[in-house]
């Protein structure tokens, strides 16, 4: 009797890792396991879990992984390359013709090795794109358009994207970039957005709440999350500088990453009275923290449409807050904000335009809160059930086609 196809997910991040990538991948694997045997190859310590008899939960195989600190870039490249080779060998040993093998774009070496292993075993191949390289490196100013690294990655991508049976993207701004590569077919690209990770409900701002109490009767603008290479948190700080004499507007900035380090340096130098820096809050306090602001800023660098994921946007929608996003209008975040009328889209890295949008939002706080109410309604479109069902259907169809 012919063996039914399996689904194999190769990833560095998986629960109990607390990253959003791990959270989403855990939900995707659990959903697909409802239909087909699912095996997760995980680079996260403590994830190993044998297949349970009569249970639809995924089997999780832990792959040895060295995790240098984030600032040790050279060691991280070596570690990610070593993990990719271990995962390559594991996929090569386990995959069978007709299986569906999926990887993600973090670390960036992973998709190439996993796709090659799957192709050698005549399995179906899928990729979930969270970050698009080398475009993200170019947008962040780390690599030039004409650099050797950029050209090599684009050559590798030409083979990779043309070899995939399914490409999952979480933004409508990604397909135009993918279709520039030869042999990429539009029908193989599937838009499946991320979903909210908080309960969806509009929350009225409470002046005596623990996060808002220091700034009662002020219009609070927030910035939070992973401030990575594709973000421009300095833009928010410069907007705060422009608005430093506006007594009714206050900025609460929080986060981590290279951008957070930059913000702390700027505030140490400037000491703006209308800016408060807060360390990241515990997960159980996140909803309260997000509800403490009247509006949230998401500042991107120029030319990041299609290369940076808008995952934090969905939690802002979930708590019912207007959003001011600095980005190109054709980016996923820009499209969502404009279509739902839940905030403002301003040019990226433009402090004056951001300050103007904040002034407009603060001048009519009730209208801004109404945008927040609409945001909570819009959040209902981004549900875990809808997105994971889409993954299930596509993976099941791939298995049926390849079995």
Q: Where are the beta strands (DSSP E) in 57-155?
A: 59-62, 100-104, 124-129
* pTM of the model as a whole: 0.90
- β-partners of residue 190 are 168
What does the pLDDT look like over 318-358, one tens digit per residue? Answer: 999 999 999 999 999 999 999 999 999 999 999 999 999 99
Residue 214 covered by a domain: no
Average pLDDT over residues 61-84: 81
Please indicate, yes or no, whether residues 178 and 124 belong to a single structural domain of this protein.
yes
Give DSSP secondary structure letters for 219-232: EEEEE-SB--TTB-
pLDDT at site 110: 92
Phi, psi of 114 (to 5 degrees): -70, -40
- How many beta carbons lie within 10 A of that of residue 389, not counting itself? 14
pLDDT confidence band for 1 (50 / 70 / 90): very low
Please indicate, yes or no, whether residues 24 and 168 belong to a single structural domain of this protein.
yes
Cα angle 217, 223, 228; round to 5: 170
What does the pLDDT look like over 163-214, one tens digit per residue? Answer: 999 999 999 999 999 999 989 999 999 999 999 999 999 998 887 788 888 8
pLDDT at site 145: 84
Cα angle 172, 178, 182; round to 5: 150
- Residue 275 belongs to a domain with what CATH number? 3.40.50.2000
Please indicate, yes or no, whether residues 301 and 153 belong to a single structural domain of this protein.
no
Residue 332 covered by a domain: yes
Please indicate, yes or no, whether residues 357 and 387 belong to a single structural domain of this protein.
no
Residue count (the chain): 403
- Based on the number of CB atoms within 10 Å of its own CB, is 245 exposed (0-12), middle (13-18) or buried (19 or more)? exposed
Please indicate, yes or no, whether residues 183 and 255 belong to a single structural domain of this protein.
no
List the domain range (segments joined by +) for residue 346: 219-379
pLDDT at site 400: 84
Assess contact for 73 and 5: CB atoms under 8 A.
no
Please indicate, yes or no, whether residues 52 and 72 belong to a single structural domain of this protein.
yes
What does the pLDDT look like over 76-114, one tens digit per residue? Answer: 778 888 999 999 999 999 999 999 999 998 888 899 999
Residue 1 covered by a domain: no
């Amino acid at each position: 009797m012919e063996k039914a196809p399996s689904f194999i997910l190769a990833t560095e991040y998986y629960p109990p890792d607390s990253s959003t990538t791990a959270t989403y991948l855990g939900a995707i694997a659990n959903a697909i396991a409802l239909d087909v045997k699912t095996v997760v190859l995980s680079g996260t310590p403590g994830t190993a879990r044998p297949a349970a008899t009569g249970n639809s939960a995924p089997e999780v195989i832990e792959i040895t992984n060295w995790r240098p600190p984030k600032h040790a870039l050279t060691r991280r490249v070596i570690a990610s390359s070593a993990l990719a080779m271990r995962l390559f060998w594991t996929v090569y040993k386990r995959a069978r013709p007709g299986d569906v093998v999926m990887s993600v774009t973090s670390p960036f070496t992973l998709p190439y090795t996993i796709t090659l292993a799957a192709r050698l075993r005549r399995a179906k191949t899928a990729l979930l794109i969270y970050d698009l390289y080398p475009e993200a490196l170019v947008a962040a100013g780390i690599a030039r358009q004409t650099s050797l690294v950029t050209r090599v990655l684009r050559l590798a991508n030409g083979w990779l994207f043309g070899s995939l049976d399914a490409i999952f993207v979480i933004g409508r701004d990604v397909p135009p970039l993918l279709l520039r590569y030869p042999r990429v077919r539009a029908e193989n690209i599937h838009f499946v957005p991320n979903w909210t990770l908080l309960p969806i409900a509009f929350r009225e701002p409470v002046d005596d709440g623990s996060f808002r109490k220091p700034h009662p009767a002020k219009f609070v603008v927030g910035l939070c999350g992973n401030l990575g290479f594709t973000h421009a948190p300095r833009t928010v700080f410069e907007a705060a500088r422009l608005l430093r004499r506006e007594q009714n507007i206050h900025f609460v900035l929080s986060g981590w990453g290279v951008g957070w380090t930059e913000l702390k340096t700027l505030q140490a130098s400037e000491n703006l009275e209308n800016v408060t820096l807060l360390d990241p809050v515990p997960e159980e306090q996140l909803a309260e923290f997000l509800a403490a602001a009247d509006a949230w800023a998401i500042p991107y660098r120029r030319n990041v449409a299609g290369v940076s994921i808008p995952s934090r946007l969905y939690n802002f929608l979930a708590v019912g807050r207007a959003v001011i996003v600095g980005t190109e209008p054709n980016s996923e975040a820009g499209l969502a904000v404009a279509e739902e009328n839940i905030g403002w889209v301003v040019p990226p890295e433009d402090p004056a335009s951001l300050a103007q949008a904040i002034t407009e939002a603060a001048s009519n706080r009730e209208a801004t809160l109404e945008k927040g109410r609409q945001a909570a309604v819009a959040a209902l479109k981004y549900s875990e059930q809808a997105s994971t069902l889409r993954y299930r259907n596509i993976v099941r169809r791939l298995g049926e086609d390849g079995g």
